[in-house]
Structure 1
Amino acid sequence: MAHDKELLQKLAQCAAACDMCADACLDEDNIKMMVKCIRLDRDCAKICMLAHSYVASHSAYAGAVLQQCAEICKACGDECAKHETDHCQECARACRECEQACRSYAGVGA
């Protein structure tokens, strides 16, 4: 149960970091350079909140959703890491932490 709580926290933190990053990216001078980042931020925030719901309700499909979540977190973290802005670097960290938490949980629940 403690593992669930930690995972739920990582999912919520990642979703929030992605939402904040996407919003901050919209204020960047070269917004065209940020398009991929913004799109991945949106996708990552959505899958994190979906995974959060599946984990919280102890769905039998939580493991499958978490595997997909981990993939999207990795892609988002990799993209954000390419940008030097503080919000992108913070988002990259949140994505990497969430990716690891998802993989760990999905491995345990598989």
Structure 2
Amino acid sequence: MSLNDTLSRIDHLGDEERECLENCLEAAQACEWCADECAGEGEGMAECIRLCRDVADVASLHARFMARDSNYSAELAEVCAGTCEECAEECEQHDHDHCQLCAEVLRECAETCRDMASA
């Protein structure tokens, strides 16, 4: 069963929530990959690694909160959006393909999280 099939069965999720959950999972994966790649890039990548690890943790937590319809999901959406934006700004400063791709994914996640926080 694919992720989309699984998410479609969570009946309390609307289309926007489903998109946000998918974006959070994608952001967590992109950040784990980016942090690992940054570790091999040498000096000057510590902040990028730290922020990517923060996003990976916060975004995956937010996805879990949305899946279980937590009362704290809106507050966590705001935190997730902020960490995604900060990490995207850092990633955009680096020319590495993995950083540029990560920043793109993070911008999308931040946008959908902001929408969830204001809903």
Q: TM-score range by the shorter chain?
A: over 0.9
RMSD in angstroms over aligned alpha carbons?
A: 0.7
Are 1:12 and 2:25 counterparts? yes
Are 1:25 and 2:42 counterparts? no
Structure 2's unaligned 5+ residue stretches are 1-13
Which amino acid counterpart does residue 106 of structure 2 have in structure 1? C
User: Separation in 2 of the partners of 1:87 and 1:103?
Assistant: 24
Instruction: Give the number of aligned pairs.
Output: 106
Which amino acid counterpart does residue 27 of structure 1 have in structure 2? G
Q: Answer yes or no: is the 8 Å Cα contact 2:27–2:102 preserved in 1.
A: yes
Are 1:47 and 2:58 counterparts? yes
Runs of 4+ in 1 over 4 A off after TM superposition: none
Residue matched to 2:118: 107
User: Residue 34 of structure 2: SS of its match in structure 1?
Assistant: helix
Deviation at 1:106, TM superposition (A): 1.1
Aligned partner of 1:58 among 44, 60, 69:
69
Q: Answer yes or no: is the 8 Å Cα contact 2:87–2:103 preserved in 1.
A: yes
User: Separation in 2 of the partners of 1:83 and 1:65?
Assistant: 28
User: Residue 59 of structure 1: SS of its match in structure 2?
Assistant: coil
- TM-score when scaled to structure 1? 0.94
Which amino acid counterpart does residue 20 of structure 2 have in structure 1? L
User: Residue 94 of structure 2: SS of its match in structure 1?
Assistant: coil
User: Separation in 2 of the partners of 1:7 and 1:105?
Assistant: 8
Are 1:85 and 2:102 counterparts? no
Identity of aligned residues (%): 39
- TM-score when scaled to structure 2? 0.87
Q: Answer yes or no: is the 8 Å Cα contact 2:16–2:112 preserved in 1.
A: no
Deviation at 1:3, TM superposition (A): 1.4
Deviation at 1:32, TM superposition (A): 2.1
